[in-house]
């Protein structure tokens, strides 16, 4: 910024005349700002609109620096462009933009309130422009005699301290209003792991995962062997450590269940498919 202020001439002198450098910079940046503003109004995507606003703010920061308001230019880039608009873009990327908002007016009379608020804003802006235009300008030399930062601080916290407090109160109110509008109450309490387990027990469901597919096992315990399609226990389905320790469950305890699987009597079980005699004969036949 310091090098830029040295390259750019002072914008307005004590007589109020604009220098050639400022005029060239203005006629270069002003059309860009107008095009970016139109992009903000007519962009179909929110990200493109946000990028247009960033371009307007950067051009405005250059104009501030060209006119000698170095502090305002730095704040414009660091605070508005680098913080607020980047946060806005991050929110768009994380949350996204939905089309759930309705364009139908639900509160009657709010358009007239909007027109009145816009008219009041026009009156305020016209008053500010008139106050800054018609009196003789004091010049940047006297305004920045005690550095630009101290001059702005003297105006904000000295002459316009009441307006500063009002703006601060409005910003705090806007933040609280955004929190209230975006907060949604849950219709049901949030369920944790314990509540979900209790609900499964009451509903008669399984707390643990079900057995692996493709077998006829009715348990998911590690010491219970799985059953093959013919109802026979599969020894390799039990971990070797349990079999060595003798902690494998006896398949005879599940004889009734095995018989039921073989007979196809269970409602949820399928009847076992015996291999065809030809296939059995082929298996017993020795190769030539």
Q: 165-181, pLDDT tens digit by residue?
A: 998 899 899 888 878 87
Residue with more model confidence, 29 or 270: 29
Q: What pLDDT, on the 0 to 100 scale, is given for residue 272? A: 46
**Burial (CB count <10 Å: 0-12, 13-18, 19+), residue 273:** exposed
Are residues 69 and 148 in contact, defined by beta-carbon separation less than 8 angstroms?
A: yes
pTM score of the predicted model = 0.46
Residue 212 has pLDDT above 60, yes or no: no
pLDDT-derived band at 285 (thresholds 50, 70, 90) equals very low
CB-CB neighbours of 217 under 10 Å: 20
At 137 the pLDDT is 60
DSSP the chain: -HHHHHHSPPSB-TT-PBPHHHHHHHHHHHHHHHHHHHHHHH-SSHHHHHHHHHHHHHHHHHHHHHTT-HHHHHHIIIIIIIIIHHHHHHHHHHH---S-S--S--STTHHHHHHHHHHHHHHHHHHHHHHHHSSPP--HHHHTTT-HHHHHHHIIIIITHHHHHHHHHHHHHHHHHHHHHH----SSPPP-HHHHHHHHHHHT--SSPPPPTTS------TTSPEE-TTS-EEGGGS-HHHHHHT-PPPGGGGHHHHHHHHHT-SSSPPPP-PPPHHHHHHHHSPP-
Model confidence pLDDT, tens digit, residues 253-267: 666 666 666 676 544
Residue 1: per-residue pLDDT: 42
Q: What is the dihedral of CA 243, 248, 253, 258, to 10 degrees?
A: -70
Q: 64-68, 100-104, 184-188, 201-205: which has the minimum mean pLDDT?
A: 100-104
214-242 pLDDT tens trace: 445 555 567 777 777 776 777 777 788 87
Q: What is the pLDDT of residue 13?
A: 45
**For the segment 27-83, what is each residue's pLDDT rounded down to a tens digit?**
999 999 999 999 888 888 888 888 899 999 999 999 888 887 888 888 888 888 888
Count of beta carbons in the 10 Å neighbourhood of residue 58: 19
Q: What is the pLDDT of residues 1-27, one digit of tens each?
A: 443 343 344 444 444 456 787 888 889
The pLDDT of residue 112: 83
Task: Confirm if 249 and 224 have CB atoms less than 8 A apart.
Answer: yes
Q: What is the residue whose two structure tokens read 């057995």?
A: 211
Domains of the chain: 1-96+142-149 (1.20.120.1200), 211-273 (no CATH)
């Amino acid at each position: 910024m310091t090098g830029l202020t040295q390259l750019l001439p002072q914008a307005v002198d004590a007589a109020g005349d604009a220098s050639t450098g400022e005029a060239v910079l203005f006629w270069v940046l002003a059309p860009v700002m107008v095009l970016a503003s139109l992009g903000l109004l007519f962009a179909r995507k929110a990200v493109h609109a946000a990028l247009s606003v960033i371009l307007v703010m950067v051009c405005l920061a250059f104009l501030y620096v060209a006119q000698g308001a170095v502090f305002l230019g730095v704040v414009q880039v660091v605070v508005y462009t680098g913080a607020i608009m980047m946060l806005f873009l991050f929110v768009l990327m994380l949350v996204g933009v939905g089309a759930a908002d309705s364009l139908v007016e639900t509160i009657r009379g709010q358009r007239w309130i909007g027109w009145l608020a816009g008219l009041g804003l026009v009156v305020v802006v016209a008053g500010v422009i008139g106050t800054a235009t018609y009196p003789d300008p004091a010049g940047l030399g006297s305004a920045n005699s005690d550095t630009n930062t101290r001059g702005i601080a003297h105006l904000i916290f000295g002459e316009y301290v009441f307006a500063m407090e009002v703006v601060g109160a409005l910003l705090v109110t806007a933040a609280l209003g955004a929190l209230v509008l975006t907060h949604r109450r849950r219709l049901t309490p949030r369920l944790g792991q314990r509540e979900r387990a209790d609900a499964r027990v009451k509903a008669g469901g399984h707390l643990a995962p079900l057995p692996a597919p493709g077998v006829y096992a009715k348990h998911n315990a590690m010491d219970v062997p799985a059953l093959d399609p013919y109802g026979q226990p599969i020894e390799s389905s039990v971990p070797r450590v349990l079999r060595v320790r003798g902690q494998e469950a006896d398949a005879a305890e599940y004889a009734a269940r095995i018989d039921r699987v073989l007979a196809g009597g269970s409602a949820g079980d399928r009847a076992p498919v015996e291999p065809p005699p030809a296939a059995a004969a082929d298996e017993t036949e020795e190769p030539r």
